[in-house]
């Protein structure tokens, strides 16, 4: 709980850093996250049930609330250690080929 993540909408390529703040099933995001990903953010009828990729950075958080600016700046640090968002984008390109069956 409180660890950082990068979340990607595989339909439109939009991504955002986020904080994993719940116990239970992964897959529920905030209205702000939905807006950042280009997902309909209506609390009752919005959301997306597929084509959302979550990459969690285990042990990256401090179990305390964070501002949106902190989530973005602190979320970049573990992503940078993995090669940055450019390398993450490369992984998505490979995912698209595997998912669509194109090699």
Give the model's pLDDT for residue 34. 92
User: CB pairs under 8 A, 24+ apart, for 15-21?
Assistant: 15/85, 15/88, 16/72, 17/71, 17/72, 17/74, 17/75, 17/76, 17/79, 18/71, 18/75, 19/61, 19/66, 19/71, 19/75, 20/56, 20/61
Structural domain of 43: 3-100
**Number of domains the chain is built from:** 1
Give the pLDDT of residue 101.
Answer: 44
Residue pLDDT, tens place only, 3-60: 888 888 888 889 899 988 776 666 678 888 999 999 988 877 788 878 888 888 888 8
């Amino acid at each position: 709980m409180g660890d950082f993540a990068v979340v990607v909408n595989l339909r439109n390529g939009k991504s955002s850093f986020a904080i994993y703040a719940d116990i239970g099933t992964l897959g529920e995001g905030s209205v702000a996250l939905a807006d950042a990903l280009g997902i309909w953010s209506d609390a009752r009828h919005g959301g997306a049930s597929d084509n959302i990729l979550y990459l969690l950075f285990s042990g990256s958080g401090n179990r305390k609330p964070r501002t949106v600016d902190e989530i973005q700046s602190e979320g970049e640090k573990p992503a940078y250690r993995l090669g940055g968002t450019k390398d993450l984008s490369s992984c998505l390109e490979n995912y698209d080929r595997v998912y669509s069956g194109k090699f």
